[in-house]
Structure 1
Amino acid sequence: MTRYDAVFFDLGGVVVELKSIREGYALFVERLTEEYDLPEDALDRWKSALGAHFKGREGTEYRTAREGYRKATTALFDGSPPPEAEWRAMLEAASDETTRPEPGAVEAVRGVAELGVHVGVVSDIDTAEAHDLLDRFGIEGHVDAVTTSEAVGHTKPDARMYEDALAKWGGDAADGVMVGDRYDHDVAGAVDAGLDAIAYGPDAYGPKATHEIADMREVPGVVRGE
């Protein structure tokens, strides 16, 4: 018997190391700069345009990263970028080189799956990117269902994200737990939806957290009730 019948993982900052994502952005812009002789502040300009894209949303409305990358790259070329297929291939190649899992995350997902419980993903991410990351880390086959903000149209802590994940599972929220690295979005949002929450790292710790961990390898033990 396990303490929980379902475990839902966030991706960014939980399964995927956020620093490695940022490194991919920097490598992409560095290569663009070398190829097209862009100004030295190209990375700052690119990140500023991408940030403006996400900040421009209303409430929990989701704006895709795919469109954000398009806006940010277009801004570097004053509205006339190279063919999209060309620069997207450069972006994907840079991401492939830099993207890393959080320490212990792959082991945690596989360990939870071996317990025979439902394994889900609930993440503010584009759907194709979510599946690409899971496949890259060799854990897509260990995940039963994926809920993304692109598919739902909203970001956490919007209840619709958790409702979608719970519907795909078909179980009782009280028997499930969410693993997240952000207090308001992952921990409080999950608890408000009826789930328990495993807070990973200090940015997730808080009064609504059911469990607090510093290492992803602790997750299977929590699920077992240890």
Structure 2
Amino acid sequence: MGIPKAILFDLDDTLIAFDSVSDPAWEKCCRDLVREHSLPADPSLLFDELKKTRTWYWGDGARHKRRRENLTEARREIVLLTLPALGIGGRDLALELADRYSAYKENLIRLLPHTYETLSELKKRGYRLGLVTNGASEVQREKLRRFGLEPFFDAVLIDTEVGFSKPDKRIFEHAMELLGLAAGDVWMVGDNPVWDIEPPMALGIYSVLFRGGRDGPTAEEAVHPDRIIGDLSELLPELPCRTCL
């Protein structure tokens, strides 16, 4: 492991809490809806059924790529598919639940611990930083603006802008091209073993799996990262000041 010249980061659930706040948001919205409308339903059962529908809905690759451009409508579709199976509510109630979830989740999205401090310190030490993320362009760029992350990055690659989506290795190759660096000069940090770790490792990029307090890889995960961290600040001891070398 050499000292890199640049570090690539994933965005969602690596720098900001996004997918990781989905379940708490759905659970609260289900409880509130059942209570406020006195629905003859168990909130936990409603949540479980929504999770099943959500897993099925996003499990279709073509639909995932198409519908992520409008998450509000996708969430409405998921709820509209779920409620009739439970025999509760109609279209208006389904839309209320979906839109309530969208609004509540937006309030839960936040920077993960030590994100700003770690990126700031890496820039001070002379490292170039890149972002490689999947998602709708407007949504991802709004997150960067909202949390003041844009100035940190020398290159921002959003799959809907560049035409390649993780886990396609070409998006990482494009990142290296933009930075003018070879694989041996770059690290990648991300939370998804299949999307963020396996492709760059295949290219020879040193890859760090960010777990953010979660357990390490399960027995089902065949991907073996070069390193696992639970906090972004754990990167700093391994990365000396480049301008001082």
Give the alignment's TM-score, normalised by structure 2: 0.71
Equivalents in 1 of 2:34, 2:175: separation in Å? 41
Alignment of 1:160-175 (within 5 A): 160-175=170-185
Shift of 1:178: 0.2
Match status 1:80 vs 2:96: no
Q: How much has 1:155 moved relative to structure 2?
A: 4.3
Distance 1:88 1:140 in 2: 30
1:2-151 equivalences under 5 Å are 3-17=3-17, 18-33=19-34, 39-40=41-42, 41-57=45-61, 62-65=65-68, 66=71, 68-76=74-82, 78=84, 80-81=91-92, 90-151=100-161
| Residue deviations 1:93-118 (CA, integer Å, cap 9, x gap) | 31232223332223222222333332
Structure 2: distance between partners of 1:153 and 1:27: 36
Is the 8 Å Cα contact of residues 8 and 119 (structure 1) preserved in structure 2? Answer: yes
The residue type paired with residue 221 of structure 1 is P
For 1:100 and 1:220, the matched residues in 2 are separated by 22
Helix, strand or coil at the partner of 1:164 = helix
Letter in 2 for 1:9: F
Segments of structure 2 that go 5 or more residues without pairing to the other structure are 85-89
Count, aligned residues: 222
Measured on the aligned residues, the alpha-carbon RMSD in Å equals 3.5
SS at match of 1:224: coil
Aligned partners of 1:63 and 1:150 also within 8 Å: no
Unmatched 5+ stretches in structure 1: none
Percent identity of paired positions between Structure 1 and Structure 2: 22
Amino acid at match of 1:122: V
Q: Distance in 2 between matches of 1:152 and 1:87?
A: 34
CA shift at 1:52, angstroms? 1.0
Distance 2:25 2:15 in 1: 16
CA distance in 1, matches of 2:133, 2:32: 29
Contact 1:113 1:143 in 2 (8 A): no
Partner Cα distance (2:222, 2:238) in 1: 17
Deviations 1:135-169 (A, max 9, x none): 33332332333323444565432212213323333
One-letter amino acid of the counterpart of residue 78, structure 2: A
Deviation string for 1:165-211 (max 9, x for gaps)? Answer: 23333332321110022333322211212322123232399885334
Letter in 2 for 1:189: P
**Equivalent pair of 1:29/1:42 in contact (CA under 8 Å):** yes
How far is 1:8 from its partner? 1.0
Q: Secondary structure at the match of 1:135?
A: helix
CA contact (8 A) 2:126 2:241 kept: no
